[in-house]
């Protein structure tokens, strides 16, 4: 059984523009304008899922997708750092910020570790392998990074070496209990593909 998975990163928010740890903020005006000029997604999907976060739901709605909420697609829980800029956290808690970047098990913010996020995403990917067809999921950069790390069986430290911009799309193909990264690009490129 083969499953095709397209992971779409939500459009930009004030947090993505200012390098802040996200809270449950809405899309910014620029994102809404950009989504308004994109043609509705004509591709068929057997299942369309979205993170429960406002920014993901708004992205799915703007793409004219009828999506089912999937709590496993939620962003990493950044605990008390949610809503703060990374520079602000680094200035207030330099050792904690350095530890968080270096150690995938660290939770100095009181939220979810990168390791826990990657485990959650790996379990979700395993569940998707039990299905067939095409799944389109609107989610977050952290979830997409974790999915790619899992798919290519990379070391957890590789997480920070994957750049996932707003409206990026990661395409994965799952078969025989494993995943393959097919491509990573911009939503606009995906829509232009034959």
Residue closest to 122 by CA, chosen among 140, 139, 145 = 145
pLDDT digit string (tens) for 32-44?
Answer: 888 877 755 545 7
Residue 15's contacts (CB-CB under 8 Å, 6 or more residues apart) are 21, 22, 23, 25, 83
Architecture of the 2-192 domain: 3-Layer(aba) Sandwich (3.40)
Q: What's the rounded Cα separation, in Å, for the pair 54 and 165?
A: 18
Residue closest to 171 by CA, chosen among 187, 182, 161 = 182
**CA neighbours closer than 13 Å in the CB half-sphere of residue 3:** 21
Return per-residue pLDDT of the chain as tens, 194 residues.
899 999 999 999 999 989 999 999 999 998 988 887 775 554 579 999 999 999 999 999 999 899 999 999 999 999 999 999 999 999 999 999 999 999 999 999 999 999 999 999 999 999 999 998 999 999 999 999 999 999 999 999 999 999 999 999 999 999 999 999 999 998 764 443 33
Q: What's the confidence (pLDDT) of residue 190?
A: 42
**Backbone dihedral angles phi then psi of residue 75, each to the nearest 5 degrees:** -70, 165
Q: Enter the pTM of the model.
A: 0.93
Q: What's the confidence (pLDDT) of residue 191?
A: 46
pLDDT digit string (tens) for 66-91?
Answer: 999 999 999 999 999 999 999 999 99
Looking at the DSSP bridge assignments, the partners of residue 134 are 4
Q: What's the rounded Cα separation, in Å, for the pair 8 and 184?
A: 10
Q: What's the rounded Cα separation, in Å, for the pair 6 and 48?
A: 10
């Amino acid at each position: 059984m083969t499953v095709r998975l397209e992971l779409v990163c939500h459009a930009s928010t004030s947090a993505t523009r200012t390098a802040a740890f996200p809270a449950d903020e809405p899309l910014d005006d620029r994102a809404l304008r950009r989504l308004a000029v994109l043609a509705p997604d004509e591709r068929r999907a057997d299942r369309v899922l979205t993170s429960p976060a406002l920014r993901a739901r708004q992205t799915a709605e703007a793409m004219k997708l009828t999506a089912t909420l999937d709590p496993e697609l939620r962003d990493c829980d950044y605990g008390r750092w949610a809503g703060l800029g990374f520079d602000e956290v680094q200035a207030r808690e330099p050792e904690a910020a350095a530890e968080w970047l270096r150690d995938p098990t660290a939770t100095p913010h009181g939220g979810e570790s990168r390791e826990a996020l990657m485990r959650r995403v790996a379990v979700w990917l395993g569940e998707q392998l039990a299905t067939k067809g095409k799944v389109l999921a609107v989610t977050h950069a952290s979830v997409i990074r974790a999915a790619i790390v899992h798919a290519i069986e990379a070391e957890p430290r590789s997480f920070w070496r994957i750049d996932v911009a707003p409206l990026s799309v990661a395409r994965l193909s799952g078969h025989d209990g494993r995943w393959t990264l097919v491509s990573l690009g911009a939503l606009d490129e995906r829509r232009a593909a034959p």
